[in-house]
Structure 1
Amino acid sequence: MAKYNVHAGHCPQGKGASGAVGFLKESVEDRIVKNEMIRLLKSEGHTAYDCTCDVATTQSGCLARIVTKCNSHSVDEDASVHLNSGREDEKGDGDTGGVEVLIYSWASASKETAERICEEVSKELGIRNRGVKVDSSLYVLRKTKAPAYLIECCFVDDKDDYEKWDAKRCAKAIVRGMLNKDIKGGS
């Protein structure tokens, strides 16, 4: 069985460097997704460590705490859960912002997993698959020891994404992509 680090990005909502807000609050929803991912991975017999920063701190302080927690475990992959922003679609335009997954480089060992996660979340929630993107500037992708990916589940400021959003279904889709199989879901 595999071992995973899973964390929600940012500090808790309203405490330090919390995430984006719109129709959804990133620092609330990413924790729901993260908790469900950990539960599902464990129900499938895998080890899953929670590396979330749950204290009020700065952005750099939060990132440093997450990476320290991640690097304290020997794992197969690091999964960072986020929600995107920047669509500013308050009325709904009939099109979703969608899901994307960021990796450190095209040669990353996590590239295939990232592709599967995009596909599964897009299919499960009925939102656009924005695909895998490379971003070597992101601290978590640069500094973690294990292959890592950063999942932008949907857009917090897109009414169309909001209307399709379901954190637990998203988590299940992510875990299907991670494990490359259908999952039972546990009790």
Structure 2
Amino acid sequence: MAVYTVDFGHCLSGSDTGAGGNGLREEVLTRRIGNLVVQGLIAKGHIAYPIQLESANSVAQSLNYRVDKIKRIEPVQSISIHINAGGGTGVEVWGDNLCKDMCNRICSNIATGFDMDNRGFKNGCESLALVGLYGSASIPALLVECFFIDNKEDCNKLNIQKYADCIVAGILNQAVKQNNTIIEEGVKYNMKNVVVFTREFEGDGILAEFWARTLSEGIAVNNYKLIDWSKVENIYAIGGKIGTYTGYLKPENFVAGGVDGWATLRNLQAKLGK
């Protein structure tokens, strides 16, 4: 049994949010992937701690929080989940020689599993400053850049469970599960409350994630294929117009999109009574 920390990379709000593109947000996806990595490690008999901060006033505050938590736990390996941006494609993993083999395994698993470019292991302690563990030689740290959020082809291949499986298998040096399908995620987690949102505004996805967190067994999606709808009891929606969504959506479960993200946030606060 080993102890791991899984850092979700960015805050949901404030000064350390992630990248966006193709209707997706990094800080939302890294939480979904990261939580499944935690669950996957625990299922294999290990201890895994999620490291996350919902909001920060600065990047430094966010990093310091993560570093302090990780150092207090003293894991055998720190894993940070990120999603790349900048016009490239494929997967890369940053680390140092303490975990080079693990980084290469994760890269290979994702590149093979998703049929995407393997940008490979990136050896650079400077980049480990992103997780704040540079100089902590006793705690190997790696940072997974799963794919490029501003590359449509990368995004079209998105499968949250499969990313988590590839990462867990790479960490533990085990075979990747075969025949993963997106629908298995919905069946496995038996989500009862689903918050859907349009791709019209990237901020709607973040607010949908907030709303889903207030619900028992809630999840936020903008891809209907992610859910086994036979398990769903309630459908909620945020942003756009009510006519955008299925006729099964109840008016009381809809939050209208405002003229901007702040207006939509105020509408959501009113809906939640906050």
Residue 151 of structure 2 corresponds to residue 162 of structure 1: no
Are 1:147 and 2:140 matched, yes or no?
yes
Asked whether the equivalents of residues 90 and 148 of structure 2 are also in contact (C-alpha less than 8 Å), the reply is yes
Count of aligned pairs between the two proteins: 174
How many Å separate the matches in 1 of 2:35 and 2:135? Answer: 23
Is 1:182 the counterpart of 2:181 in the alignment?
no
**SS of the residue 2:119 aligns to:** strand
Matches within 5 A, 1:34-73: 34-73=34-73
Query: Retained in 2: the 8 A contact 1:83–1:151?
Result: yes
Corresponding position of 1:22: 21
Q: Distance in 2 between matches of 1:57 and 1:11?
A: 10
User: Aligned pair 1:119/2:118, yes or no?
Assistant: no
- Please state if 1:101 is matched with 2:90: no
Decide whether the 8 Å contact of 2:14 with 2:58 is kept in 1. no
> Does the aligned pair in 2 maintain the 1:17–1:58 contact within 8 Å?
yes
Q: What is the deviation of 1:183? A: 6.3
- Unaligned 5+ runs, structure 1: 89-96
Distance 1:143 1:7, change over 3 A: farther
Deviation readout 1:145-182 (Å, 9 max, x if unpaired) = 41010000000100010011112210111000000113
Structure with larger RCO (C-alpha < 8 A, sep 6+): 1
CA contact (8 A) 1:67 1:143 kept: no
For 2:99, the aligned partner's letter is: S
Q: Which amino acid aligns with 1:31?
A: R
Contact 1:4 1:49 in 2 (8 A): yes
Distance 2:156 2:55 in 1: 30
- TM-score where L is the length of structure 1: 0.87
Aligned-pair Cα RMSD in Å = 1.8
1:146 counterpart letter in structure 2: I
Distance of 2:85 and 2:14 partners within structure 1: 19
Structure whose residues are more often helix by fraction:
2
User: Partner of 2:260 in structure 1?
Assistant: none
1:79 corresponds in structure 2 to 79
Q: Report SS of the residue matched to 1:137.
A: helix
| Structure 2 portions without partners, runs of 5+ | 181-187, 189-274
Equivalent-residue separation in structure 1 for 2:125 and 2:74 (angstroms): 22
How far apart, in 2, do the equivalents of 1:28 and 1:121 lie?
19
